[in-house]
Amino acid sequence: KQVLQTVNTSLHKFRVTFKLLLGALADFHPGNIVPYGRLQLVDRIALKHLSDMVLASQKACDNFEFYKGVSTMNRWANLEFSAFYMEAIKDRLYTLGEDSTSRRAAQTTLFYIYNHLQEALGPITPVLVEETWEHTPESIRTQSEHPLRRIVSAPAPEWQDIALDTTYQELTVVHSAIKTLQEQARSKKQLGSSLQSFVHLVLPSNSELFQLYLSELPDLFIVSSITLG
């Protein structure tokens, strides 16, 4: 029973992940794809994570180590996708103009995630993947082949930008510090939503990353504004 419960938990997580993706892609058409160079930093980080997950799971399946492949996908679905990427793009998906470049960039990233996740899970949970196809928006179905008939595709080489791993680590450290302070404020009943936060970061003078992407940081950290010192 304990073994089957673990499997059931994984399967439920993948179902919820597909449900999130299908909901976000309901009004998306492959003709709306935003080029990689115009994606936001968080989108490019998400594609790097996706690429790492796909390559690792493919290698595991090639070696018939399916448990390793599933473990890799589970970790990605829980951490990099749900806890990091979906949290960072909620406002872009649900509050910006339908055809705004920022929203379409987030949908482009989710479209890539959707396709690669179908292919990665195809040999492992084929019934679930079949079900996702039945609920895929018509605009995407007409431009795509059935996931169980596709030759599994490799992630785009441009997604494998090693520098993004360092960037992600830097952002995660700052994000953790912000969340810790927010939780302290909540415990004192000084704060409700994280969007009530106006954050001032004091950083070393060589922190060019934060200067470069200042306009994108509030979305990424889920706060109302970021200023630097």
Residues 165-189: what's their mean pLDDT?
91
Rounded to whole angstroms, the Cα distance separating 111 from 33 reads 9
Q: Answer whether 107's CB lies under 8 Å from 93's CB.
A: yes
Q: What is the pLDDT of residue 18?
A: 96
Q: What is the pLDDT of residue 91?
A: 87
Residue 206, pLDDT > 80, answer no
Positions of E strands within the chain? 198-201, 225-228
Q: Answer whether 28's CB lies under 8 Å from 137's CB.
A: yes
Q: Coil, strand or helix: which one is 201?
A: strand
Question: At 167, is the pLDDT very low, low, confident or very high (cuts 50, 70, 90)?
Answer: very high
Q: Which letter does DSSP use for residue 216 in this model?
A: G
C-alpha distances out from residue 138 to 7, 28, 29, 31, 94, Å: 31, 10, 9, 13, 21
Rounded to whole angstroms, the Cα distance separating 9 from 15 reads 10
Query: What percent of the chain has pLDDT above 90?
Result: 74
* pLDDT, the chain, mean: 92
Question: At 152, is the pLDDT very low, low, confident or very high (cuts 50, 70, 90)?
Answer: confident
Task: Output 196 or 12, whichever has higher pLDDT.
Answer: 12
Rounded to whole angstroms, the Cα distance separating 102 from 149 reads 32
Q: What is the pLDDT of residue 147?
A: 93
Residue 222, pLDDT > 90, answer no
Residues 171-198: what's their mean pLDDT?
89
145, two tokens: 């082949």
Q: What is the pTM of this model?
A: 0.91
Residue 136, pLDDT > 90, answer yes
Q: What is the pLDDT of residue 106?
A: 96
206, two tokens: 């060589």
Residues 75-104: what's their mean pLDDT?
91
